[in-house]
């Protein structure tokens, strides 16, 4: 079954460190396989906070993100056993805990969050909890937090729920693993967040997690329909047409060898592939950490193509897809990022190990990640800590100018990492330059000057960190180079 490549191995030569950080650190590039003692590859450490720093409780759990469309400010929504924390991460090196929402009833290990129309929708396995709806714009004027927020509405059509799924295209939320419909899909119309309304249920077996999409894949029989991909624990996967909430209909089911507990998954952006994980196969069968790869180009006849298996032994948990990459949170091995090949194969790309002390098959460590911030910053949540990390090769737009341009191969910046000066060689012509941080903010800029003959720039006042140097030639396309400043 495993026709795909084995994953990037853990760097075994690194020393063992226990994650004991208590506050924010300065931005630390991943160098020589480590960022302040955390094993890594291709992901820089921006900051780390403890759950205690962000409101406390017995444990942390899920997360999601919100971006204020008017200002571009970014917020990480952090689930805790006793409530929700709203943390501004516009400056990811210095997260700002602005607000919290207490649990609706009692504490629970599980709390899950999604966002629609500037509102957070929060569910929990706590009995009688229902779905809290929080107006996130309330945090925009908070200067001295944390402030306790009250929900603007509270849906009680179900009590406990394992997760909440939202299709932002249609304005419907789906409670899954609730105490209704045998744990199946429980649809709620949230087009008016202040007044959520029950819309229908689907009793197709217990659903642990799901993703609901407006289908744009190659199967023309289902073009334009609203489709749910349900991960049903011991029941495998079920694909459901949920276009009509009063008559949701199963399309197909899928299982696979060594199925133990189908946990969660996400579809590729072209809706050709489905990537999912099994939470118990590592314990049950002694497998390495696996991500299964399914061909869903025909929704009526999906098939498992194989799996990507790491040499790591940790249990897998939540994964998400952004662009051509899968961002997978695995309990005791942290965040693992893979690139999606055209045939669906996963190739190791980057990792950040949040718990270097162990890779045991235990339910501890990280829980989830949010990889969708426009800045490219990634939030990672877990039982005890919250991390912000960044792929230094992610190139955001700066003032609407895309940084992903055809490079001039001869344009070089050195030394890199830099200390007090850098030189630019390999290209001649008149150009202005800007240095921006990973949030796209100006740090320094230089007026039009001639490139060539080893132009030298003064970096003595630039703080230690990772930056993008934007070279704007008068005759040609903007070029961007990553620069690390490290003294």
> Which of 158, 103, 160, 79 lies closest to 380, judged by CA?
79
What is the rounded distance in angstroms from the CA atom of residue 171 to the CA atom of residue 396?
28
Domain with CATH 2.130.10.10 in the chain: 34-390
Q: Give the C-alpha distances (Å, rounded to integers) separating 155 from 173, 186, 255.
A: 11, 12, 33
Tell me, what DSSP letter sits at residue 288? P
What is the rounded distance in angstroms from the CA atom of residue 89 to the CA atom of residue 93?
8
> Which of 197, 158, 189, 195 lies closest to 176, judged by CA?
158
Structure tokens of 271?
A: 């809706």
Place of tokens 């869903």: 296
Tell me, what DSSP letter sits at residue 281? H
CB 131 within 8 Å of CB 123: yes
The model carries a pTM of 0.79
What is the rounded distance in angstroms from the CA atom of residue 330 to the CA atom of residue 464?
30
Superfamily designation of domain 34-390: YVTN repeat-like/Quinoprotein amine dehydrogenase (2.130.10.10)
Structure tokens of 194?
A: 């202040």
pLDDT in tens, the chain (487 residues): 333 333 333 333 232 333 333 344 458 999 999 999 999 999 999 999 999 999 999 999 999 999 998 888 999 999 999 999 999 999 999 999 999 999 999 999 999 999 999 999 999 999 999 999 999 999 999 989 999 999 999 999 999 999 999 999 999 999 999 999 999 999 999 999 999 999 999 998 999 999 999 998 999 999 889 999 999 999 999 999 999 999 999 999 999 999 999 999 999 999 999 999 999 999 999 999 999 999 999 999 999 999 999 888 999 999 999 999 999 999 999 999 999 999 999 999 999 999 999 899 999 999 999 999 999 999 999 999 999 999 988 865 444 333 333 334 456 777 777 788 887 766 667 788 888 886 678 898 888 877 654 577 888 888 887 788 888 877 777 777 878 787 6
- Tabulate helix, strand, coil % of the chain (nearest 5): 5, 45, 50
What is the rounded distance in angstroms from the CA atom of residue 278 to the CA atom of residue 229?
15
Domain with CATH 2.60.40.1930 in the chain: 412-485
One-character DSSP codes across 290-337:
EEEEEE-SSTTS-EEEEEEE-S--PPEEEEEEETTEEEEEEGGGEEEE
Please give the CATH architecture assigned to the domain spanning 412-485.
Sandwich (2.60)
What is the rounded distance in angstroms from the CA atom of residue 379 to the CA atom of residue 374?
12
């Amino acid at each position: 079954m495993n026709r795909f490549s084995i994953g990037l191995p853990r760097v075994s030569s690194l020393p063992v460190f226990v994650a004991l950080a208590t506050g924010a650190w300065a931005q630390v590039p991943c160098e020589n396989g480590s960022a302040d003692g955390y094993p890594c590859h291709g992901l820089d450490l921006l900051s780390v906070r403890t759950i205690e720093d962000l409101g406390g409780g017995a444990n942390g759990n899920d997360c999601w993100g919100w971006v204020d469309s008017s200002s571009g400010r970014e917020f990480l929504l952090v689930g805790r056993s006793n409530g929700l924390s709203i943390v501004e991460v516009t400056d990811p090196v210095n997260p700002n805990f602005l607000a919290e929402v207490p649990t609706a009833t009692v504490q629970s290990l599980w709390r899950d969050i999604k966002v629609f129309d500037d509102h957070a929708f929060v569910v929990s396995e706590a009995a009688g909890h229902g779905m809290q709806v929080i107006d996130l714009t309330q945090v925009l004027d908070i200067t001295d937090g944390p402030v306790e927020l009250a929900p603007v509405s509270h849906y009680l059509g179900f009590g406990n729920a394992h997760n909440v799924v939202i299709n932002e295209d249609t304005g419907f939320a789906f409670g899954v693993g609730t105490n209704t419909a045998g744990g199946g899909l429980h649809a709620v119309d949230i087009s008016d967040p202040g007044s959520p309304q029950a819309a229908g249920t689907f009793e197709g077996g217990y659903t642990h997690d799901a993703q609901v999409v407006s289908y744009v894949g190659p199967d023309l029989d289902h073009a334009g329909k609203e489709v749910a991909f349900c991960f049903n624990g011991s029941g495998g996967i079920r694909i459901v047409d949920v276009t009509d909430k009063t008559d949701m209909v199963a399309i197909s089911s899928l299982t696979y060898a060594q199925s133990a507990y189908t946990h969660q998954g996400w579809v590729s952006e072209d809706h050709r592939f489905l990537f999912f994980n099994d939470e118990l196969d590592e314990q049950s069968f002694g497998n390495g950490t696996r991500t299964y790869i399914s061909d869903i180009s025909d929704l009526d006849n999906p098939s498992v193509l194989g799996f990507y298996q790491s040499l790591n032994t940790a249990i897998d948990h939540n994964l998400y897809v952004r662009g051509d990459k899968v961002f997978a949170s695995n309990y005791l091995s942290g965040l693992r990022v893979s690139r999606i090949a055209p045939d669906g194969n996963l190739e190791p790309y980057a990792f950040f190990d949040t718990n270097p002390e162990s890779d045991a098959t235990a339910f501890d460590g990280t829980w989830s990640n949010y990889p969708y911030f426009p800045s490219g910053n990634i939030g990672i949540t877990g039982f005890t800590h919250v991390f912000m990390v960044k792929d230094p090769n992610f190139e955001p737009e700066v003032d609407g100018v895309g940084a992903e341009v055809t490079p001039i191969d001869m344009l070089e910046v050195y030394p890199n990492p830099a200390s007090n000066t850098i030189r630019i060689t390999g290209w001649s012509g008149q150009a202005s330059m800007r240095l921006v941080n990973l949030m796209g903010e100006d740090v320094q800029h230089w007026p039009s000057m001639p490139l060539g003959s080893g132009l030298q720039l003064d970096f003595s006042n630039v703080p230690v960190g990772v930056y993008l140097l934007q070279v704007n030639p008068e005759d040609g396309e903007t070029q961007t180079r990553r620069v690390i400043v490290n003294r």
